[in-house]
Chains A and B, each alone.
Chain A
């Protein structure tokens, strides 16, 4: 991964965190790493624990950033969330998965933020 791309991702996640706080979410943790991957943001929306996946892109040429969450990613996020709940000794809390898509075409231009609540639905 090039420096520029990691940079963009980090900037996007920071932007998403600020956006969520403005929406009244409380940020619990960021960049929670496990062996099989990373949860971008864990936030609290009232009583509900929210796992947030942030996707930042330079252009929409390859589709909306939200479209990159496919079934494989879904399964992975679900597994990561379960690991998180175990590791933090959280049990019996209501959870939700949100996806935030950011399109940031140039550093000078204002980024476009799309927030989808409960983006993954229920695991079948």
Chain B
């Protein structure tokens, strides 16, 4: 007999409807799975067989053939266990044959017949929001689905339970409400433990407010890492749409748990400098998101930027430019979102003390040159803010601890306002000033006469490329937004120019 059960595969961060067809016929006993199953899918055979027996059902005699349609798409993952088992039970007459609009099922089976949580359920739920069909899923994934509104979810804990429900008729499922408001975040001052460094703080606030890529340059112990980490916390919390968007990536990466079913916090990722290109951009036979995607809508912090492989840094160019990363592998080509704010940290020279007012630098000029050259021009060209960080003078930290110029509440409010202005400007898509395409610069970045003149003079004096001029204009836009100014004035342009490479790496 032939039975068809609906299921879903996860390709990249999208769901693909898969029909699980099971045929049970007489003959020599065999159990085949066709439809380009990967190793994890082929192993379903042994799990399904044991789970069926240990749930008190009979594994049918004869020839069992399972087809995963569409058969030309390679399949990976363990989520087909449950639909295959349910299909075998139906095809061998132990359950009624599923109707056309029967539930979509996903779940991994344990040998004892219990249903285990799988990754990527959030992506399937996102595809099924508002659909009248039921989604039968592992109980362990129940909380994850809650993020998407309008899913009719039926969580099951065992194969036995799923079979009983199929026999009695599927229940009226509870419909998910969608992600609620994020829990109130503790609004303590991120700058609380960072003494001094007012210029760096200001520049990082601009970076976070407008999504501008920044590079912190300073000697060891100046607090570059701490500054970056704390700056990431200045960003306003993710919006509801962004929570689902970011959580989908984490769902596919298998980084969500029952206790933490989705992400409210803006991501902050800091891969080590030994990171490989697949780990950074995404990879694997069935492509999984890499660090750039895990940092989507958050901060990607690269400490010791000079130590990264040049190839790794250069690989960042596509995501920096496009906001997405394309991964092509055996199991297909996937596009993962990767819109992050890059914050890099760098010593000014190999020993770290070049330009330090107190400690002499022990590097030879050639060494400094080689060190600098490791950063390719194209990457430096994509950095908006070059930030010089000085070591606080000895003793200053302890003596003047906690002193700060503007109350942080005002600064956080200014960032929130700047983000709000950008939302009004670009719509709900969540674009930031740092992402304004060059052909729209003149629409959004309107300079006053004074600013125009200043920029023209600087461009001529420093020999700035048109791309660099655009970067200055975008940063100036954010500085004006922080002050709630619609027009970009000369002082905004002046500050933006002060973060140029030319004024920092002289």
Residues of chain A at the chain B interface (Cβ within 8 Å) = 48, 78, 81-82, 85, 91-97, 118, 120-124
Pair B27/A122 contact, Cβ less than 8 Å: no
Pair A120/B29 contact, Cβ less than 8 Å: yes
State whether A122 and B25 are in contact (beta carbons under 8 Å apart), knowing that A94-B62, A96-B61 are contacts in the complex: no
The residue of chain B having its C-beta at the shortest distance from the C-beta of A123 within the complex is B30
The residue of chain B having its C-beta at the shortest distance from the C-beta of A93 within the complex is B26
Pair A121/B26 contact, Cβ less than 8 Å: no
Minimum CB–CB distance for A82 against chain B, Å: 6
Q: Does chain A have a CB within 8 A of B49?
A: yes
Q: Which A residues touch B27, using CB under 8 A?
A: 85, 91-95
State whether A92 and B25 are in contact (beta carbons under 8 Å apart), knowing that A48-B61, A122-B64 are contacts in the complex: yes
Q: Does chain A have a CB within 8 A of B31?
A: yes
In this complex, the member of B29, B31, B62, B64 whose beta carbon has the largest number of chain A beta carbons within 10 angstroms is: B29
Minimum CB–CB distance for A44 against chain B, Å: 14
Minimum CB–CB distance for A78 against chain B, Å: 7
Interchain CA distance A10-B158 in the complex, whole Å: 48
The residue of chain B having its C-beta at the shortest distance from the C-beta of A81 within the complex is B28
10 residue pairs of the A-B complex, CB under 8 angstroms, read: A92-B25, A92-B26, A95-B29, A96-B61, A122-B49, A122-B64, A123-B29, A123-B31, A124-B30, A124-B32
Minimum CB–CB distance for B52 against chain A, Å: 12
Q: Which B residues touch A91, using CB under 8 A?
A: 27
Q: Which A residues touch B25, using CB under 8 A?
A: 92
State whether A85 and B28 are in contact (beta carbons under 8 Å apart), knowing that A121-B49, A122-B49 are contacts in the complex: yes
Q: Which B residues touch A124, using CB under 8 A?
A: 30-32, 45
In this complex, the member of A78, A118, A124 whose beta carbon has the largest number of chain B beta carbons within 10 angstroms is: A124
Pair B26/A122 contact, Cβ less than 8 Å: no
Q: Which A residues touch B30, using CB under 8 A?
A: 122-124
Minimum CB–CB distance for A80 against chain B, Å: 11
Interchain CA distance A97-B59 in the complex, whole Å: 15
Interchain CA distance A95-B29 in the complex, whole Å: 7
The residue of chain A having its C-beta at the shortest distance from the C-beta of B62 within the complex is A94
Interchain CA distance A80-B32 in the complex, whole Å: 20
Q: Which A residues touch B31, using CB under 8 A?
A: 122-124
| Contact residues, B50-78 vs A (CB, 8 A) | 59, 61-62, 64
Pair A97/B29 contact, Cβ less than 8 Å: yes
Minimum CB–CB distance for A32 against chain B, Å: 15
Interchain CA distance A79-B29 in the complex, whole Å: 12
Minimum CB–CB distance for A74 against chain B, Å: 11
Interchain CA distance A87-B166 in the complex, whole Å: 42
Pair A95/B49 contact, Cβ less than 8 Å: no
Q: Which B residues touch A120, using CB under 8 A?
A: 29
Pair B45/A95 contact, Cβ less than 8 Å: no
Q: Which A residues touch B45, using CB under 8 A?
A: 122, 124
- CB contact between A95 and one of B28, B32, B64 (< 8 Å): that residue: B28
Pair B28/A78 contact, Cβ less than 8 Å: yes
The residue of chain B having its C-beta at the shortest distance from the C-beta of A92 within the complex is B26
Minimum CB–CB distance for B27 against chain A, Å: 6
Pair A82/B29 contact, Cβ less than 8 Å: no
Pair B26/A96 contact, Cβ less than 8 Å: no
Minimum CB–CB distance for A14 against chain B, Å: 27
Given contacts A95-B62, A118-B29, A122-B45, list 17 more A-B pairs with CB under 8 A: A48-B61, A78-B28, A81-B28, A85-B27, A92-B25, A92-B26, A92-B27, A94-B26, A95-B29, A95-B61, A96-B29, A97-B29, A122-B49, A123-B28, A124-B30, A124-B31, A124-B32
Q: Which A residues touch B61, using CB under 8 A?
A: 48, 94-96
Q: Which B residues touch A93, using CB under 8 A?
A: 26-27
Minimum CB–CB distance for A120 against chain B, Å: 7
Q: Which B residues touch A123, using CB under 8 A?
A: 28-31
Interchain CA distance A122-B25 in the complex, whole Å: 13
Minimum CB–CB distance for A75 against chain B, Å: 12
Q: Which B residues touch A94, using CB under 8 A?
A: 26-27, 61-62
Q: Which 7 A-B pairs have the closest CB atoms?
A: A122-B31, A94-B61, A123-B30, A92-B26, A122-B29, A94-B26, A94-B62
Interchain CA distance A94-B31 in the complex, whole Å: 14
Interchain CA distance A96-B29 in the complex, whole Å: 7
